[in-house]
Amino acid sequence: MKKVLLIIGVLVFVVVVIFITVSFAKSPILVTNTENHGNSTILTKNMKISSIAFGNNTRIPVKYTCNGQDINPPLQFVGVPQDAKSLVLIVDDPDAPMGTWVHWVVYNIEPSVKQVNEKSVPQGGIEAKTSVGKPSYSGPCPPSGTHRYFFKVYALDTTLVFERRDQVDKRLVEEKMKGHVIDQAEMIGLYSQQK
């Protein structure tokens, strides 16, 4: 009889452990983003960013680079949290020889925005200064080799306010974002100069 009870006890324990594991797997995962937002805790599970012009980790068409029309590619956002107050879009190149090169920063995008058309600023969005010193999109233009271009979208629980909008750049936007990111997504485009 003791063996039967012991076996039943072990089975109950295993079932409880499996139930707890499955429950946690279905819930959003809390992660710490130390790269851009210090110790702020963010949800990174539901949002997605994509483009009909290129796939994740594939080549960005010439049209959207310095060798083409130098216009922003079309983008789509899905899974934006319902309680988001604004979105931030950042495009940068960590492979640039002088350090990360910022190609586009747009903040205070309406959280209802589902897509960004090519050659356009997302609804409600305010462009910040990039590495070329002006608030506009500048396409990939690597001096050599294949570079990675990170297209990142952040959902915030607030809108961002700056005293001097003409001075706003990626660094200031990321500082203001600290503690306000509730979800994020990214995709990577690749580009090298044509030979």
Q: Is 57 left (phi over 0), alpha (psi -120 to 50) or beta?
A: left
Q: Quote the CA–CA distance of 127 and 132 in Å, as a whole number.
A: 13
State yes or no: pLDDT of 33 exceeds 80.
no
Cβ count within 10 A of residue 100: 13
How far, in Å, are 31, 130, 142, 161, 193 from residue 66 at the CA level? Answer: 36, 15, 9, 31, 9
pTM summary value:
0.78
Name the DSSP letter for residue 169: B
Lowest mean pLDDT among 1-15, 45-59, 90-104, 106-120: 1-15
State yes or no: pLDDT of 23 exceeds 50.
no
Q: Quote the CA–CA distance of 156 and 99 in Å, as a whole number.
A: 26
Name the DSSP letter for residue 128: -
Give domain 2-191's CATH architecture. Answer: Alpha-Beta Complex (3.90)
State yes or no: pLDDT of 64 exceeds 70.
yes
Per-residue pLDDT of 103-136, as tens digits, reads: 999 999 999 999 999 999 999 999 999 999 999 9
Q: What is the pLDDT of residue 165?
A: 84
State yes or no: pLDDT of 16 exceeds 90.
no
Q: 14 vs 165, which has greater pLDDT?
A: 165
Q: What is the pLDDT of residue 57?
A: 97
